[in-house]
Structure 1
């Protein structure tokens, strides 16, 4: 209750209740996102396990709550208001899933289990393998599951509780954090960093250079390999340029395959120096960037996860 002062005697007025505020039902929001993603009410019903009439009702209720149409029906596409809602929906649903995962972490997982996700470049180099050896010696019998997947999948999986720990790599200035999804209580700590080099074919005109600035490579031929090299979007952002356009796109996660493509002259790639010791490379000078590996986690629920985190950070 709050007091309202007036010229006459004070009068009590009721504070707004939750029912007086506008809340978006997450079930309705999830249905809306699925319909918008698939462009079909029937396909959304199949994915969500609802009837098509239930999906239609969800959308109708959400549109009634918000007071505006959110989807065109033929074809099924977001209206301008629906586009606005989609800008918020992913973050809202992720935060709700992260909150549920954080509650489950407080209860704790079955002892003796440890799940880890790592982006491809964060998984190689031996650091993770060495840390796991230390953990298995100190906690024998621990069942470890390691999943190697894309950077976004690592961050999302840790946020929603699929994994206890994540190792994620990326390119950033020495004093800048890696850009991650907004997932509430996730924590990060530095694990390793390395200088960046440009990998190129042995007969490339720049192969004999002692060093090179990234700005000089804006119009070069590039291989877009976002999971096993510096993403071209990160290079564009670092140089404030719209260059760095791919001549070839590689969606795999095998570093050897990428280096074979580079050696065959299909394009350049920016890599951490330690991961390309036998390739033809030229060190990058400006802008000042480094390859980083960070540990990503929520509240650590068990001693095995805490031990691995300590071993990686050490």
Structure 2
């Protein structure tokens, strides 16, 4: 029965499949290989189904089905532990803010500066992470607040996964732009339609720019194929690749306009905006709530 499942066994199962090896999973978890084998055998006995093929390591149909649930189950458990650990909030004034790269705007920096002035903040940390990691860090208390960006129709929320009791609100909506090298023929246009660019050369940069699979979804096409892939959170490096004519990318217009060697052209169709949302748990720390109150809501001017 799933509710009686030992989470240690489930974590071992996930590690074995992630590493595709009992020995590498044992090394990553700090167990012996024999202990890992015992964990998998105990989990299979608990569920009454064979979960893994041993040579080579691969999931059985039952293992594949369990893997569809396991990461979300473990994340919810970590989030519950973190939520309980926050009570009572008697810690010194410390703050960790997790942001996807394009979500760290001047308004957010100004809010942090105001927090420092208004409180005796002993320690503050800002982490630039991939979008998926921002939500995980907030849920598991590795971050007190999160800011994540993406594209949506005007006034629509971002399509974030439901992984725990979180509160979200709009922090900003900005025009979306396509970045072209300065000499590109389309760089002279006042606006572009994404549907006209489905066969152009693109940079696949899901951690920084608008993910190409999101562009495919909103344009209902299988285009937007990458010429080059960019991994990490370096926006300036991504802009340099675009300036060198290695591919197009999509970013919020105010940010895109700051990079040398490129021209940012607003997206006319489909009607999309670059949206930033603030994320925190249902019971944020007092310091986190103070910062959340200082970050302007969409439609408000920064004070």
Residue 67 of structure 1 and its aligned partner are, at CA, apart by 1.4
TM-score (norm 1): 0.89
The aligned runs of 1:168-183 (5 Å cut-off) are 168-183=148-163
Aligned equivalents of 2:102, 2:70: Cα separation in 1: 30
| Alignment correspondent of 1:100 | 81
Runs of 4+ in 1 over 4 A off after TM superposition: none
- Aligned residue among 61, 65, 68 for 1:80: 61
Give RMSD over aligned pairs. Answer: 1.7
Contact (CA 8 Å) 2:83, 2:283: kept in 1 or not? no
Unpaired stretches in structure 2, ≥5 consecutive residues: 298-303
Output the CA distance in 2 between the equivalents of 1:298 and 1:93: 17
User: What is the aligned partner in structure 2 of residue 303 from structure 1?
Assistant: 286
Q: Partner of 1:128 in structure 2?
A: 108
Q: In 2, Cα distance between the equivalents of 1:300 and 1:291? A: 28
Which residue in 2 is equivalent to 1:274? 254
- What is the match of residue 287 of structure 1? 270
Distance 1:295 1:109, change over 3 A: farther
Does the Cα contact within 8 Å between 1:108 and 1:301 map onto a contact in 2? no
Q: Which residue of 2 aligns with 1:12?
A: none
Q: Distance in 2 between matches of 1:127 and 1:152?
A: 22
* TM-score w.r.t. length of structure 2: 0.92
8 Å Cα contact 1:121-1:227 kept in structure 2: no
Larger radius of gyration: 1
* SS of structure 2 residue aligned to 1:207: helix
1:156 aligns with 2:136: yes
CA distance in 1, matches of 2:149, 2:176: 13
Q: Is the 8 A contact 1:111 1:302 kept in 2?
A: no
* The one of 219, 240, 245 aligned to 1:265: 245
| Gap change, CA 1:109 and 1:79, over 3 Å in 2 | farther
Matched, 1:49 2:30: yes
Contact 2:115/2:121 (CA < 8 Å) preserved in 1? no
- Unaligned 5+ segments in structure 1 are 1-19
1:143 equivalent in structure 2: 123
Give 1:269 deviation, angstroms: 0.8
Shift of 1:56: 0.9
Alignment of 1:163-312 (within 5 A): 163-278=143-258, 279-312=262-295
Deviation at 1:284, TM superposition (A): 0.8
SS of structure 2 residue aligned to 1:176: coil
